[in-house]
Amino acid sequence: MVDTETRMRELEHRFRNILTIVRSLVSQSLQRAESIEDARSTIDERLAALGGAIEQLLAHDWEAAPLPALAENALAHFTLGADRMRLAGPTVTIGPKAAMTLTLAFHELATNAIKYGALSNETGTIELTWKVLDSGAEAELWMQWAERGGPRVVKPERQGFGSRLICTAASRSLCGRAELDFPTSGIVWTLLAPLTAVEA
């Protein structure tokens, strides 16, 4: 049984992690916002996504959240294009830190798809697929978000906070590599990370 002192240290660590994420979300959202109303809306959406990840973790005693349930929960409020999203992959155990990282990444990707990508018209589709490569100590989680059928994609001139979140932050948090590509047919986000880092 975990003693009280150990549990308190774990709680302190979790709250510090959450606070760091919240401060970053708020700061970056304010920097990129065109108005107070825009900042308020963006911050509310991102905090709601983070809250969803925390609720999912609490439902599993903060131990882990399984894919695909984590992805389904993160994308549940994007009802506009729900029938055009396809999720496919095996059940994979996602640890608390990775769960928050992936939830925020899914939120950013879906938000972008509604504003500019595959869900901004009536014909676009999204496939979120994942699989485990290799086994044992070499096992890795491969994941891809691929959009098709939306407006013709043009690579942006600058990288916004959302792009940094789903690439740079995800790479660092999961000790792996996350990349965002811009084929004209639709954006493609690909993640490759050690399974040990994803499950931690």
CATH at 109: 3.30.565.10
Number of domains in the chain: 1
- 36: how many CB neighbours lie within 10 A of its CB? 9
Exposed/middle/buried for residue 61 (C-beta within 10 Å: 0-12, 13-18, 19+): exposed
User: What is the bridge-based pairing of β-strands 177-181 and 188-194?
Assistant: antiparallel
Exposed/middle/buried for residue 139 (C-beta within 10 Å: 0-12, 13-18, 19+): middle
CA gap 142, 168 in Å, rounded: 16
CA distances 25 to 12, 17, 82, 101, 144, Å, are: 20, 12, 25, 12, 23
- Boundaries of domain holding 169: 4-199
Per the CB < 8 A criterion, the answer to whether 195 and 130 are in contact is no
pLDDT < 50 stretches in the chain: 1
Per the CB < 8 A criterion, the answer to whether 26 and 19 are in contact is no
User: What is the bridge-based pairing of β-strands 85-88 and 125-133?
Assistant: parallel
CA gap 163, 169 in Å, rounded: 9
